[in-house]
Structure 1
Amino acid sequence: MTRDTPILITGANGFLGSYITRRLLQAGYTHVRGLHLPGSPMELVADVADRVHWLPGDLLDYYSLEQAMAGVDTIIHCAAMVSFDARDRRMMHRVNWEGTANVVNAALHQQVRRLLHLSTVATLGRQSGGPVVDEKTPWQQDRDLNNYELTKTLAEQEVWRGQAEGLEVAVLYPTIVLGAGLWNHGSTQIIQYASGKPAFYPTGATGVVDVRDVAEGVLRTIERDQNGDRFVLNGANVTYRALLEQLSQAFGHAPPRYALPESLTRLMAWFEGARSWLTGSRPLLTRASIHHSFRAYQYSSQRSKEELGLAYRPLEATLEDAVASYLATNGQAGGVLAF
């Protein structure tokens, strides 16, 4: 690829998309197009907005995708809907599954050469306390698979279908992505939670990765330019207790002291669901949102280190940078980390 290769990023103004956009511009790419949902916030890309060709579009509007892809060589698809509210199940299926099918079909029709898809480690087979998960771990139906994970699994199947029809593809599998962004949305909410001096911690373990390392992984994957590439992106395996302890240290207050019983948390989620149903408001806690925080998973990023040459940031550095950004913005405005 050359630096003037036309690249389209779906969800370019979102948390992950904004860092990918910024990293491509930093690397010298001059023809970056950003697809954004009309009315969606642009504050995370305010500093680079004038260097991107912005195109309004909707994953559910096939023709807006076709127009955005005209003349494009490579698509980076990171737009998705994330929700653990059961009421969003149908819309999430449409956005994540049908929307990705639209992206694939439009790319094939417009003769786009390559699609890089941001998936999730949840589409790989994993068992609590089981073997370390990598790219070769086969997916298996999990009775506890939540709606988000199911829709991302179906979305990835559309991507491989696109490959079978002639599209070059690559798929990346990030673990929980940490960094600075909109503090009340997505995975950055754990920074907000830790700022409140929590007394309790969930008993599970997971993988986490710096958002800047994910953006670097995207850049290196598109420049590697091999059809069928698959990489797990994981900076560290960590317990939630250790994660909250390090965040508390970065904030300068005492760490949580008490293990949160899963049974109590499920009961809280039930009452929160009842309150949400009675009032018509969004639930603050759901069974789907808490389930994996009481499970223990480990992930291997060895392949991305060996084949992409990725050197992941230490977890401590990621958390310190994120907390510094949170404090600098008073936990209100969107935060952005420098590369």
Structure 2
Amino acid sequence: MVLVTGGTGLLGSHLLFKLVNDNIEVRALYRTSEKLDQVKKIFGYYSPNANILFEKIDWIKADILDIPSLELAFIEVTHVYHCAAYISFNPSDFKLLERINREGTANVVNMCIALGVKKLCHVSTIGAIGRPISNKKATEETEWGRQHANPYAITKHLAEMEVWRGAQEQLQTVIVNPGVILGPGFWESGSGTFFKTASKGYPFYPPGGSGFITVADVTRSMINLMNSKITGERFILVAKNLSYKEILGSITFTMGKKVPSKELKMWQLQIGKFADQIRNLVTRKPRTITNSTIYGLQHPTKFDNSKAIDALKFDFEPLDEVIKFSAQLFLEEHS
């Protein structure tokens, strides 16, 4: 039995589709029934038999912070894909981020050790990869530092430390550090916000950039690593390093919108940060522009994916097709 935590998110739902479509016996955690509808929607993007595939999953209502429910979910489980995480870049959310991302991961690791799980695949982030001092690309071995890191990246680094602890206690583990994951369905978070922003036809784009990868390539990499003899390793999963101008330009062009041509200046970002703070105080909506955000835009990191290519023996798929597919779905759902 394979267990997937975070099965109702972008990556988790796509991973579940791939597993059940390959006739793998799988169990998944959920917290609220409303999120299950989102998974069904994702399945419907790829198969006319979405409901049949969805019903193959053994859904367990559980929380990675709730040990009793987690114990029930782990019964007869042999392999675990740990995708669950709380994502926020708001400094005031640090305690909650640490509790879910670090403590929750510690609970998963402890359960794996106690119940003899054969292998754990932990999903981290490129934010937990160190920043190189020079203009070289960051690798899995680049030293990580807390300075200028956002709260989410800090807590995901702490979560990785829990996984390495498990590895020292003889648990077979692999860690993946994906870049920005491109895929459809979750338009209010992650890469979905790129499509939402692009649809508005703004003339501005932020400076900097990041590493990008399709959701299909992340799931394929995770399954290949889980089925391999590789253990005690981490892998950067990035298909291509792109500037935000390039990625937003590609999405806006696909949507038939005018490509943004004006880079946001530092003074505009600082005003945006101040406005974001006011919006957070008034509406309690999460902050999106912080000091660490601005630093990251000013000092973008490029990532080396050669270790993953060598280990997995495949080339990452081009981003254009998933951008086109996702943009089409976004436009259909927001017509």
Task: Tell me the SS of whatever aligns to 1:71.
Answer: coil
Aligned to 2:2: 7
* Letter aligned with residue 244 of structure 2: Y
Aligned to 1:281: 284
Contact 1:12 1:21 in 2 (8 A): yes
Aligned to 1:313: 317
1:254 Cα deviation (Å)? 1.2
Alpha-carbon distance in 2 for matches of 1:202, 1:237: 15
Contact 1:129 1:297 in 2 (8 A): no
**4+ residue segments displaced more than 3 Å:** 288-291
1:128 Cα deviation (Å)? 7.8
Aligned to 2:77: 72
1:43 Cα deviation (Å)? 2.6
**Is residue 22 of structure 1 aligned with residue 20 of structure 2?**
no
Aligned residue pairs total 323
Task: Tell me the SS of whatever aligns to 2:322.
Answer: helix
Alpha-carbon distance in 2 for matches of 1:234, 1:316: 14
Task: Tell me the SS of whatever aligns to 1:9.
Answer: strand
Structure 1 residues not aligned, in runs of 5+: 1-5, 332-339
Contact 2:132 2:142 in 1 (8 A): no
Alpha-carbon distance in 2 for matches of 1:159, 1:120: 14
**Is residue 86 of structure 1 aligned with residue 86 of structure 2?**
no
Alpha-carbon distance in 1 for matches of 2:22, 2:233: 21
Q: CA RMSD in A?
A: 1.7
1:18 Cα deviation (Å)? 0.5
1:40 Cα deviation (Å)? 5.2
* Letter aligned with residue 299 of structure 1: F
* Letter aligned with residue 37 of structure 2: E
**Is residue 235 of structure 1 aligned with residue 230 of structure 2?**
no
Aligned to 1:335: none
Alignment counterpart, residue 119 of structure 1, candidates 99, 106, 124:
124
1:199 Cα deviation (Å)? 0.8
Measured against aligned partners, the alpha-carbon deviations of 1:25-75 in whole angstroms (never above 9, x if no partner) come to 22231x100011234511332123201000111111012112111111110
Contact 2:128 2:156 in 1 (8 A): yes
Contact 1:128 1:297 in 2 (8 A): no
Aligned to 1:3: none
Aligned to 1:201: 205
1:289 Cα deviation (Å)? 4.5
* Letter aligned with residue 35 of structure 2: P
Aligned to 1:336: none
Inter-CA distance 325–289: structure 2 relative to 1 (3 Å threshold): farther
Contact 1:273 1:283 in 2 (8 A): no
Inter-CA distance 111–192: structure 2 relative to 1 (3 Å threshold): same
Contact 1:7 1:75 in 2 (8 A): yes
Alpha-carbon distance in 1 for matches of 2:158, 2:204: 35
* Letter aligned with residue 20 of structure 2: L
1:175 Cα deviation (Å)? 0.7
Task: Tell me the SS of whatever aligns to 1:83.
Answer: coil
Measured against aligned partners, the alpha-carbon deviations of 1:121-158 in whole angstroms (never above 9, x if no partner) come to 1111114863111222232x242111100000000000
Structure 2 residues not aligned, in runs of 5+: 41-49
Task: Tell me the SS of whatever aligns to 1:314.
Answer: coil
Task: Tell me the SS of whatever aligns to 2:35.
Answer: coil
1:91 Cα deviation (Å)? 0.9
Task: Tell me the SS of whatever aligns to 2:191.
Answer: helix
1:284 Cα deviation (Å)? 5.5
Task: Tell me the SS of whatever aligns to 1:41.
Answer: helix
Alpha-carbon distance in 1 for matches of 2:76, 2:235: 27
* Letter aligned with residue 38 of structure 1: T
Inter-CA distance 294–319: structure 2 relative to 1 (3 Å threshold): farther
1:265 Cα deviation (Å)? 1.0
Task: Tell me the SS of whatever aligns to 1:185.
Answer: coil
Alpha-carbon distance in 2 for matches of 1:128, 1:42: 43
Aligned to 1:36: 30
* Letter aligned with residue 58 of structure 1: D
Task: Tell me the SS of whatever aligns to 2:213.
Answer: strand
Task: Tell me the SS of whatever aligns to 1:166.
Answer: coil
Contact 1:240 1:293 in 2 (8 A): no
**Is residue 166 of structure 1 aligned with residue 177 of structure 2?**
no
**Is residue 60 of structure 1 aligned with residue 51 of structure 2?**
no
**Is residue 251 of structure 1 aligned with residue 255 of structure 2?**
yes
Alpha-carbon distance in 1 for matches of 2:274, 2:288: 9
Contact 1:205 1:297 in 2 (8 A): yes
Aligned to 2:47: none
Measured against aligned partners, the alpha-carbon deviations of 1:85-135 in whole angstroms (never above 9, x if no partner) come to 233221111000100011111111111121110011111111486311122
Alpha-carbon distance in 1 for matches of 2:134, 2:195: 26
Alpha-carbon distance in 2 for matches of 1:242, 1:227: 35
